[in-house]
Amino acid sequence: MRVLIQLRPSPDLVAAVAAPDLTATTADVTGDLPGVVLDHSYTPVALPRAQPAMTGGDPLSLNQPLIFSMAPEEASVLVRGEISDDESSARLALLPGRHRDVVGVYADPVIETSLTCGGTPPVGTWQDVARLLEVAQLEAEGYDGTGVALAICDTGVNAAHVTRQLGRDITIDRDRSWNPGGVSGEAGWFAVDHGTMCAFDTLIAAPRASLIDIPVLLSRRQGGTVMDGLLSDAVAAFAHLRTVLEAQPAATRALVVSNSWGSFSPLWDLAPGQPGNYSDNAAHPFNIIVGSLEQAGADILFAAGNCGTECKDRRCAYPARPIVGANSHPQVLSIGGVDTGGERVGYSSQGPGRLSDRKPDICAYTHFSGSKAFGDDAPDSGTSAACPVAAGLVAAIRTRWPASQLPPSQLRTLLHRTADDRSDVGFDYDYGYGVADTMAILGALKRRAERHRL
């Protein structure tokens, strides 16, 4: 978290900062502050003291005539720094008491005029995403998804549309695809919709992966509506995927599961704290089966959601901490979104997560012109697109690194460790550990192969 720190150093220093003909630096004003990474590129700013203009005025009220004093013994100085998101509340509260010069610590939010939001036109194309993901390098080193099963749990895939937009044949694994009860239609032959976008986006980094089509969001089971499945359908889908995984030889298991969906509202859920609750409850059946499938060797990815504070989806109804349930499960990768400029899109949900604090895990690219599933001018958007982009990268890695050699938990750690950090202090609740970085991943895998003589 970026912060502004208000200091009251000696009057001489305040005078030096305020003097127009002198340039005082952060190092002149203060030494190290505990837990704060000071930004030495920021020139300290003198801040006048506001005082009531009339005798007897309320010293804490700004709703009265004020005078502002730059007298060195009254003014203060602002410097800029960053504190870890993990302990921001404690730092904000404790720092003024632990350092005699610190008067206050305030948030320094990013101010932007061009943040990518829901109505923004596409930012770049899927070819840009391929370039940013270093797909040519991945393919040159044999990481193309060959032999990797990649499940798209969504609204079903239209293979002809994906083939047309991608300009190459794709593989739908019809034998291992699965429909929830009551859903008719064949794998790869569903209407062009959200699931088709997801399938397209996985294939950017893993063009030779075998897609398993799981139209879990098409269920019309009692209690659901068209285009909304029920969580119980996802429970059944994951049970099917477990049979898929267990049918693979143990030494070469590779199953990646991409989930660009979630629950927008607490209205259909029991309240947190009740035993039957989903959003905050690791004992819910879906959260149990997610853990069980990961334990068996699957890489499970969930979109972080589109409830970012700057331009959230209007369906977002959680008042805070919108990364809920399995989307925040400690054994999944929760994926936030950045545009092809590397900036977080304003709708990408921020942490902390409800089941696991450190969410999102990492970010991947979204909001680019890609599948055209929603029209020629509409971007592949939402963390819905970021999740399959990341799933494709994971599937590419699995081409040469099955779960027996790189268990899902270790792969998650590798992605955390190699991510392009977007802050100066490691993990933060906007970007997680950072943006997935293919070259850093390849370097780490090469070192691992040398260590293990693979």
Partner 1 sequence: MVLVTVQLPPEATLQQAMQQLGLTEDEVDTAYGLVPLDPEQGLYALRVTEDAGHRVTPAAGGPFSDPPIEPYGPPR
Contact 195, 155 (CB under 8 A): yes
- Look at the alpha carbons of 306, 257, 217, 198 in this order and tell me if their dihedral is positive or negative: positive
Examine residue 284 and tell whether it contacts partner 1 (CB under 8 A): yes
CA dihedral 44, 425, 329, 181 (to 10 degrees): 80
Backbone angles phi, psi at 255, to 5 degrees: -135, 120
CA dihedral 135, 137, 138, 141 (to 10 degrees): 160
**Residue 320 C-beta: closest distance to partner 1, Å:** 18
Examine residue 113 and tell whether it contacts partner 1 (CB under 8 A): no
Examine residue 227 and tell whether it contacts partner 1 (CB under 8 A): yes
Instruction: Give the integer Cα–Cα distance in Å for 392 and 355.
Output: 25
Q: How many residues does the chain have?
A: 454
Q: Which secondary-structure segment (H or E) carries 195?
A: helix 194-202
Locate 356 and state its tokens. 């696991």
Choice from 132, 197, 241, 355 touching partner 1 (CB under 8 A): 197
**Residue 25 C-beta: closest distance to partner 1, Å:** 43
| DSSP designation for 171 | E
Examine residue 298 and tell whether it contacts partner 1 (CB under 8 A): no
Kindly write out the interface string for residues 143-182 of this chain, putting x where it contacts partner 1 by CB under 8 A and - elsewhere.
-----------xx-------------------------xx
Choice from 236, 241, 298, 397 touching partner 1 (CB under 8 A): 236
Choice from 270, 282, 317, 440 touching partner 1 (CB under 8 A): 270
Nearer to partner 1 (CB atom), residue 145 or residue 322? 322
**Residue 20 C-beta: closest distance to partner 1, Å:** 47
Kindly write out the interface string for residues 349-388 of this chain, putting x where it contacts partner 1 by CB under 8 A and - elsewhere.
-------------------------x---xx-xxxxx-x-
Q: Give strand ranges (E) for 49-170.
A: 49-52, 66-69, 76-82, 102-107, 149-153
DSSP per residue over 400-415, as a string?
T--TTTS-HHHHHHHH
Examine residue 251 and tell whether it contacts partner 1 (CB under 8 A): no
Nearer to partner 1 (CB atom), residue 368 or residue 401? 368
Examine residue 250 and tell whether it contacts partner 1 (CB under 8 A): no
Closest of 372, 376, 334, 337 to residue 200, by C-alpha: 372
Instruction: By CB under 8 A, name the binding residues for partner 1.
Output: 117-118, 154-155, 181-182, 194, 197, 216-217, 221-225, 227-236, 239, 242, 260-265, 268-270, 275-278, 281, 283-285, 288-289, 291-292, 303, 305-306, 311, 313-315, 347, 374, 378-379, 381-385, 387
